[in-house]
DNA sequence: TAGGCCATCTGGTCCT
DNA sequence: AGGACCAGATGGCCTA
């Protein structure tokens, strides 16, 4: 972890309240790189940068790297800094001086690319989260992994297609599958009885 | 403790 | 040229 996003030693909380979605009971964690994710979780959105109907952490879609930089004062000084020494006042001032040091152009560019990549991955993850909401899961089931989400979605789509083409009542079709065993025509890795069992939880109104 | 899952960094490639 | 996309490497966390 080369850098962190927020200036925890001063007004980290105000950074979050600026976004206006922080749970008042939220406890900051010591792991800087988990903050973004935890923030996303707590606010009920799937990604701070996601465009899925949620307010973005960076509401300005055209946010530039320099904007990010201004929001992340520690950008540019690396993890070699021992956080245990940050308590010392003169150490803090040293850190502040290093913070202002000019960045090597390559490092700045690489850092910008890292931020874009994180943003891109967060957007992918938010799409996975959306997808998880649309595949059948058991109540209290452990969160599906990405690969399981994809495989279950494939199996689910295949089953829905079969229901459509059969012209049967969906609930009847699923009940029949439960009784007789679901003859999946795809090579879906998901256990078919597992899929139909999941479907049995669906409310067919 | 090994394996699965995941986030992040990174460099390469492609596209605009 | 710069951004998007991708895949490999790495390290952290969790669970069986």
Looking at residue A182, its pLDDT comes to 61
- Nearest nt to A120, CA vs C1'? C4
What confidence tier does A15 reach under pLDDT thresholds 50, 70, 90? Answer: very low
Mean local confidence (pLDDT), A63-73: 34
What confidence tier does A25 reach under pLDDT thresholds 50, 70, 90? Answer: very low
Looking at residue A165, its pLDDT comes to 92
Long-range contacts of A138-147 (CB under 8 A, 24+ apart): A138/A197, A138/A198, A138/A201, A139/A201
Secondary structure class of A7 (helix, strand, coil): coil
Find and list the nucleotides of strand B having atoms within 7 Å of a protein beta carbon: 4-12
Tens-digit pLDDT profile for residues A153-185: 888 888 888 889 988 888 888 888 777 766 555
Q: Which helix (H) or strand (E) holds A52?
A: none
Q: Which of residues 63-102 of A touch strand C (CB under 7 A)?
A: 64-65
Q: Is the CB of A116 under 7 A from strand C?
A: yes
- Nearest nt to A34, CA vs C1'? B7
Four-residue CA torsion sign, A50, A8, A10, A97: negative
Mean local confidence (pLDDT), A97-122: 71
Tokens of A22: 């922080």
**What is the distance between the alpha carbons of residues A53 and A67, in angstroms, rounded to a whole number?**
23
Q: Which of residues 95-114 of A touch strand C (CB under 7 A)?
A: 109, 112-113
What's this model's pTM, rounded to 2 decimal places?
0.54
């Amino acid at each position: 972890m080369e850098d962190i996003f927020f200036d925890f030693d001063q007004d980290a909380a105000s950074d979050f309240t600026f976004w206006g979605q922080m749970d008042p009971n939220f406890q900051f964690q010591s792991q800087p790189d988990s903050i973004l994710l935890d923030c996303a979780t707590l606010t009920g959105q799937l990604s701070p940068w996601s465009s899925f109907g949620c307010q973005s952490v960076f509401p300005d879609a055209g946010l530039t790297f320099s904007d990010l930089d201004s929001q992340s004062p520690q950008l540019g000084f690396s993890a070699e800094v021992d956080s245990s020494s940050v308590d010392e006042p003169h150490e803090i001032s040293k850190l502040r001086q290093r913070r202002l040091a000019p960045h090597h152009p390559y490092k700045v560019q690489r850092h910008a690319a890292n931020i874009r990549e994180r943003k891109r991955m967060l957007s992918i993850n938010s799409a996975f989260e959306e997808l998880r909401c649309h595949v059948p899961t058991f109540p209290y089931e452990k969160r599906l992994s990405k690969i399981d989400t994809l495989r279950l979605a494939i199996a689910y789509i295949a089953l829905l297609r079969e229901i459509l083409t059969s012209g049967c009542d969906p609930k009847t079709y699923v009940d029949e599958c439960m009784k007789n065993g679901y003859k999946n025509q795809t090579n879906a890795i998901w256990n078919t009885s597992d899929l139909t069992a999941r479907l049995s939880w669906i409310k067919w109104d």
